[in-house]
Amino acid sequence: MRSELFGTLPDGTPVHRWTLERDGVRVRVLTYGGIVQSVEVPDRSGRTAQVALGFEGLEGYLAHPGPYFGALVGRYANRIAGGTFSLDGRTYRLARNNGPNALHGGERGFDKHVWDAEPDGAHGVRLSRVSPDGDEGYPGRLAVAVTYSLDGAGALRIAYEATTDAPTVVNLTNHTYWNLAGAGAGSALGHEVRIAASRITPVDGSGIPTGAYEEVGGTRFDFRAARAVGPGLDHNYVLDKGVTERPVEVAWLGDPGSGRVLTVSTTEPGLQLYTADHFSQDLPFDPGAGVALETQHFPDSPNQAFPSTVLRVGEVFLSETVYGFSAR
């Protein structure tokens, strides 16, 4: 494991890159935004490719923040309707940075801050920062730590932890886009996907859940058996396992050409499947160039009868997601 200077923000703040290597897997993580810059894994023939969409230099991330390439997302991943929610009789107003709604923590969420970093064992890095009370409109001083590590099987483990000094809401995820043929190798549409979910939370025209649950059987959303993924997906899957204390495998992504396989295990109750249809023309990646599998609680949970995202004083927010790599 090693750390090196990756670049400097316009205000002079240095950004470092940490490289984790184990069992043929190499992962690079930036202190800026907790970004997973690259993931290098072998195919069925032993040829290694970079399979996470990202940029070679810091300037790419600064120029293209909207897609959240590889970023650590918070305080609240996904959307909150109208940029408002109520908690304990008080209403909180957030930045509306996605049409009428709040998205991925606001105008300057966790993805746009430089995090403190320190080694965590021989194969991990622990990132930490304090989000002050009122940050992007959210209540409470939130102390957050996120550890990226490679386990003995070469799997990337992301462990989240947070505490607060006042009641607040928290929903954290990582926003890596995967192309198992290789980043920049063309479209990831056609990758095979399997998700252990019998339902989704259907959404309105602005991406906010209606509050209902919809069965996936007989619809284009049904990935209970592996099949090729197509365009037009940006939906939260209600994982059959629910919330668990330890990560449980919930999703599988495979590239028939290279044989590379990605498995996703998590403690979270939801998974957002996004096929990157909204990549704009100024990006070096076309729409569908990657598939995001974001483990999370559900969108707009603070305003809906969904599993709670409230964190109170004295409680500890804990979440873990594991990305496993293999080839067949």
Length of the chain measured in residues? 328
Given a cut of 90, whether residue 263 has pLDDT beyond it is yes
Given a cut of 90, whether residue 34 has pLDDT beyond it is yes
Given a cut of 90, whether residue 320 has pLDDT beyond it is yes
What value does the mean pLDDT take over residues 298-302?
98
Question: Alpha-carbon distance 28 to 272, whole Å?
Answer: 23
Question: Alpha-carbon distance 198 to 182, whole Å?
Answer: 30
- Assigned domain for 230 exists: no
> Per-residue pLDDT tens for 203-242?
999 999 999 999 999 999 999 999 999 999 999 999 999 9
Give the chain's radius of gyration (CA, Å). 19
Binding region for beta-D-galactose: 78-79, 175-177, 234
Please identify which of the residues 40, 136, 268, 294 carries the catalytic annotation: 294
Give the rounded percent of residues in the chain with a pLDDT score beyond 70. 100
Beta bridge partner(s), residue 173: 73
Q: What pLDDT is attached to residue 281?
A: 83
Please state, in angstroms and as integers, the Cα–Cα distance from residue 189 to each residue in 57, 66, 153, 227, following that order: 26, 21, 27, 11
Q: What pLDDT is attached to residue 67?
A: 96
Q: What pLDDT is attached to residue 73?
A: 98
229 phi and psi, to 5 degrees? -90, 140
Burial of residue 116 (number of CB atoms within 10 Å: 0-12, 13-18, 19+): exposed
- Assigned domain for 86 exists: yes
Ramachandran quadrant class, 182 (left: phi over 0; alpha: psi -120 to 50; beta: rest): left
SS3 call for 136: helix
- Assigned domain for 236 exists: no
Report pTM.
Answer: 0.97
What residue spans of the chain are helical by DSSP H? 58-63
Number of Cβ within 10 Å of residue 199's Cβ equals 17
Q: What pLDDT is attached to residue 119?
A: 98
Given a cut of 90, whether residue 53 has pLDDT beyond it is yes
- Assigned domain for 237 exists: no
Q: Residues near 289 by Cβ (< 8 Å), separated by ≥ 6?
A: 53, 177, 179, 183, 184, 186, 187, 188, 276, 279
- Assigned domain for 204 exists: no
Of 20, 39, 50, 41, nearest in space to 328 by CA? 41
- Assigned domain for 219 exists: no
b (16+ CB within 10 A) / e for 223-259: beeeeebeeebebbbbbebeeeeebbebbbbbbeebe
Q: Which residue range is the domain that position 283 belongs to?
A: 2-188+273-327
How confident is residue 279, by pLDDT bands cut at 50, 70 and 90?
Answer: very high
CATH number for position 81:
2.70.98.10
Looking at every residue in the chain, the average pLDDT score rounds to 97
Please identify which of the residues 175, 191, 235, 297 carries the catalytic annotation: 175
Binding region: 78-79, 175-177, 234
- Residue 294 among the catalytic residues: yes
- Tokens representing 288 are 């569908």
How many folded domains does the chain comprise? 1
b (16+ CB within 10 A) / e for 81-103: bbbbbebeeeebebbbbbeebbb
Q: What pLDDT is attached to residue 84?
A: 98
Cα 32 to the center of its chain, rounded Å: 15
> Per-residue pLDDT tens for 132-181?
999 999 999 999 999 999 999 999 999 999 999 999 999 999 999 999 99
- Residue 175 among the catalytic residues: yes
- Assigned domain for 206 exists: no
Structural contact between residues 77 and 292, judged by C-beta atoms closer than 8 angstroms: no
Q: What pLDDT is attached to residue 280?
A: 86
How confident is residue 14, by pLDDT bands cut at 50, 70 and 90?
Answer: very high
Q: What pLDDT is attached to residue 26?
A: 98
What is the distance in angstroms between the CA of the first residue and the CA of the last residue of the chain? 28
What value does the mean pLDDT take over residues 239-259?
98
- Tokens representing 81 are 């309707």
In the structure, how many helices (H) and strands (E) does the chain have? 1, 28
DSSP output for 8-37:
E-TTS-EEEEEEEEETTEEEEEESBTT-EE
- Assigned domain for 159 exists: yes
Given a cut of 90, whether residue 120 has pLDDT beyond it is yes
